[in-house]
Amino acid sequence: MAQGLIKTNDSLAAFILRLGLAIVIFPHGAQKVLGWFGGGGFQATLDGMTTGAGLPAFVVILVMLIEFLGPLLLLIGLYTRITALCMFGLFVGIILFAHAGQGFFMNWNGENPGEGYEYHLLVLAMSLALVSSGAGRWSVDRKLMRGRA
């Protein structure tokens, strides 16, 4: 079973997908966990998402873990399928609980009260592609598979 979770090939496309997804998601996690990029950091995120959004603390901590550690795992290509599946689940939740009511399009002109979910659909597609393909080229998963059947 473990082999199936890390199984991958030498796909350049999978490498590009995981690199792109890691680069896009990491700043969001760093905002939440470290306070980088104008974020509030761990405690402010925990307080804001539990009090303001009404989420349980363990859910907020899972969100922070997925958005902070997930991109780091994707970057090196370790447990890519699991990480991408977690990211997929996170973004389904984000769409359903925060953005579905805002419509499809992003709020480029600031005319709507929130953001649409078009960006989130791209994350879902990239995540599913990685769940399907694995990490691809230049990944720890690929190195772990060497010499295995």
**pLDDT tens digit sequence for 42-58:** 999 999 999 999 999 99
The CA distances from residue 92 to 11, 87, 101, in Å, are 26, 9, 14
- Euclidean distance between CA atoms 53 and 35, whole angstroms: 19
Domain count of the fold of the chain: 1
Distance separating alpha carbons of residues 139 and 33, to the nearest angstrom:
25
pLDDT number for residue 147: 63
The per-residue pLDDT for 8 is: 93
For 13-32, b/e burial (b = at least 16 CB within 10 A) is: ebbebbbebbeebbebbbbb
Task: Calculate what percentage of the chain has a pLDDT beyond 90.
Answer: 82
Q: Is the pLDDT of residue 148 over 70?
A: no
Range of the domain at 107: 2-145
Structure tokens at 104: 């499809």
d(CA 105, CA 92): 16
- Cα dihedral across residues 42, 34, 62, 95: positive or negative: positive
**Model confidence band, residue 2 (pLDDT cutoffs 50, 70, 90):** low
pTM more than 0.85:
yes
Q: Does pLDDT of 7 surpass 60?
A: yes
Contact 23, 70 (CB under 8 A): no
Q: What pLDDT, in 10s, does the model give residues 76-132?
A: 999 999 999 999 999 999 999 999 989 999 888 888 888 999 999 999 999 999 999
